[in-house]
Structure 1
């Protein structure tokens, strides 16, 4: 006989890890002032957290005795402040469009510190990368042919190239070249040595597991050795991104997955656990890099770190989300609350287009904090509420889940979604209904009197 659960019984929660910097910002009184000033939703950014995440990756490389370079994957967040931090710390940038590359160059990142990725790059992007001495991850043979032609017809230096390797079977990736194509590409690089400098190999791998990255990195090292026999430099490999972020504790995450059911969502929306980002990861960020470096790749006799050192090969990586861990949050003002039988529907002054997990037919699960004009909401009650956007679309839900708030949300309160800098803020943004895009506010100093400024992203 089926067990019938009361709709509001055991409403699941997923609190984010406690974050002192975010808490200080919530308690400063600044967020209500900014909400009033902007008249709509906004994001706040914490650049010092980017700096500390970058340092953690560099420390992992140093501790392993590996020469490496960190490139920030710009697609993770459009704000200019991250380019400013990369320029200040001589970090690299991963750009996949002419717009991204111009933003990086315009904010002080040197061309040689940019790696250009993405499939089927335009001639405009290839030419820009060529003139600025950027490293180009070539994804296909026709792209290599176009790049050679461009280099031979007006470049003052050879094109710097990585050849992107297709992940091994049973991969269904659309990125990279198979064995036969890699062989043809190497022959082309040898023949066109005046136009192309082949510096190594790269791959694009989905997911967050560390073992497959170490295994494929080991394969790239073997390819480098074969390329060197042909007289090519091949002195570096790129393992791309895919460094997980740990948003919540293991206990909270596994409890959430076990308890969540359709009745815990508005309109009985159904999500499968595989639909969600893994909001808890036991190995995340720079620790994931440490795990990759300490792994013995398949078929090898020593760790990846040892193989990199023995072969004199530089390791490149392109983290995005992991460099933005803890580096910002998104703020929405409550502008309406309506009652349903056992929960409320909260409507905020923005849309789900500014909280981009909906783009993946999923939901951003870390609980938003309810911030009243008097401070963070407290209470012992259970006030479940979903969160809708200000548009006229039924699907415009920032949070389908009935969040168990400690107090009933009210008009004028703020909802602060934590740790949204990585991919959430602007991947899917749109001025739908002529609503302005949420501005990004950079907090250069925290404390009782925060120092803030608008992000300096240039107009494209």
Structure 2
């Protein structure tokens, strides 16, 4: 299941010393971030808006990765950040993102978050009537989006039609109703386009009541293409319980996504000519991708601490123990499996060796890879395993100091003309 690897990561893997130097310096597992790739991904979304002639804004969904270098890339490339806590708001501003370039989401926001966001003129997505009441009580000028509960949804988030009407009529100066937002689970471009068109109607009705209502946000859910189509199809069609050390996963992310990231935005804008509708109504479209802005923007590195061999149905395979936990490769903690193959480093020759990867804890279930991955040679103690494309949600959404193990630090890698240079991310200092 080989992943598509970014050129800067190929340079890292080809360097005979750099990976081992970093591992020696940090003394444990670590994550590598490539902020130049974040810049490329932001630019792709911005180009999709420009090509469609749509006024659009990109907000990075910060929950997807805490790295300071990602927030800095947003500040430097004209992207805002979607935050849901005072900690995320402060971290974003510390990297140069201005308050007016933040959108504050999440349910039942704390009074501290409402106050701080209002003071810095952040855009706020209002999820409930009592939240609007608490914001009104602050008596501060603030722009809001009303989060709409999509028809037929059973989500705990958003305002139903009755609540939505109440909120529209309750808003008055110094609060400004800037528009509406929604969030859909899954990755359906058509559903997002049609819901966006419905929100244009909400904006027009709100304008009749004197509100500017010139912005809608369609949230995130922009897919990432981790594996090529044939590899993903072959895996699904031939999947066998015998491939796994323990029970196989119950569900998977769609690891092949034929219209990923900015291409999905293009499809949303093209469906039923949404772009023309937005232009005619003078509506600004906001998107809040997390994972899609982190595509090929980072990897996770673990050192092999031990190797043992087991046999099932007469077939031997290796079990590695590495110096980290699956809390730093989060997919496993959702009864799933992170499928892109790790790269065994250094790249020396040997015999194909089925291998699963266990963590350095005393939990039987703590496996980074339950699947017996066909490594190109037998791993040895001291080797490194590099899991590619882990920047989106994998690195730290479930991180924990379990067993009092230190959290893997984040390392920032930048390419100069003649060499790669690394430094610790602001989150690791």
* TM-score where L is the length of structure 1: 0.90
Question: What is the 5 A alignment of 1:213-232?
Answer: 213-232=192-211
Question: What is the 5 A alignment of 1:281-360?
Answer: 281-296=257-272, 303-341=273-311, 342-360=316-334
- 2:151 is aligned to 168
User: Residues 198 and 367 (structure 1 numbering): CA distance in 2 closer, same or farther, change over 3 Å?
Assistant: same
Task: Find the partner of 1:442 among 412, 420, 425.
Answer: 412
Q: Deviations over 1:432-457 (max 9, x none)?
A: 11111111110122676311110013
The whole-number CA distance in structure 2 between the counterparts of 1:453 and 1:178 is 48
The whole-number CA distance in structure 2 between the counterparts of 1:346 and 1:266 is 12
Corresponding pairs, count = 424
Unaligned runs of 5+ in 1: 1-13, 297-302
* TM-score where L is the length of structure 2: 0.97
Task: Find the partner of 1:159 among 142, 149, 167.
Answer: 142
The answer to whether 1:25 aligns with 2:8 is: no
- 2:173 is aligned to 194
The whole-number CA distance in structure 2 between the counterparts of 1:73 and 1:439 is 21
| Contact 1:24 1:446 (8 Å CA) reproduced | no
SS across alignment from 1:69: strand
- 1:3 is aligned to none
Q: How far off is 1:359 after superposition?
A: 2.6
Question: What is the 5 A alignment of 1:329-408?
Answer: 329-341=299-311, 342-372=316-346, 376-379=347-350, 381-408=351-378
Unaligned runs of 5+ in 2: none
Q: Deviations over 1:229-283 (max 9, x none)?
A: 000010010000000000010000010111222111113x1224xx111010000
| Contact 1:66 1:314 (8 Å CA) reproduced | yes
The answer to whether 1:243 aligns with 2:219 is: no
| Contact 2:300 2:390 (8 Å CA) reproduced | yes
- 2:163 is aligned to 181
**CA RMSD across the alignment:** 1.3
| Contact 1:35 1:42 (8 Å CA) reproduced | yes
Question: What is the 5 A alignment of 1:73-92?
Answer: 73-92=61-80
| Contact 2:66 2:396 (8 Å CA) reproduced | yes
- 1:5 is aligned to none
User: Residues 408 and 448 (structure 1 numbering): CA distance in 2 closer, same or farther, change over 3 Å?
Assistant: farther
- 1:57 is aligned to 45
User: Residues 377 and 183 (structure 1 numbering): CA distance in 2 closer, same or farther, change over 3 Å?
Assistant: farther
SS across alignment from 1:241: coil
SS across alignment from 2:397: coil
The answer to whether 1:453 aligns with 2:423 is: yes
The whole-number CA distance in structure 1 between the counterparts of 2:71 and 2:341 is 29
SS across alignment from 1:404: strand
| Contact 1:160 1:196 (8 Å CA) reproduced | yes
Task: Find the partner of 2:241 among 232, 257, 262.
Answer: 262
Q: How far off is 1:360 after superposition?
A: 1.6
Q: Deviations over 1:388-434 (max 9, x none)?
A: 00000011100110001111111111100000001000000011111
Q: How far off is 1:378 after superposition?
A: 4.1
SS across alignment from 1:63: helix
User: Residues 39 and 248 (structure 1 numbering): CA distance in 2 closer, same or farther, change over 3 Å?
Assistant: same
The whole-number CA distance in structure 2 between the counterparts of 1:409 and 1:456 is 32
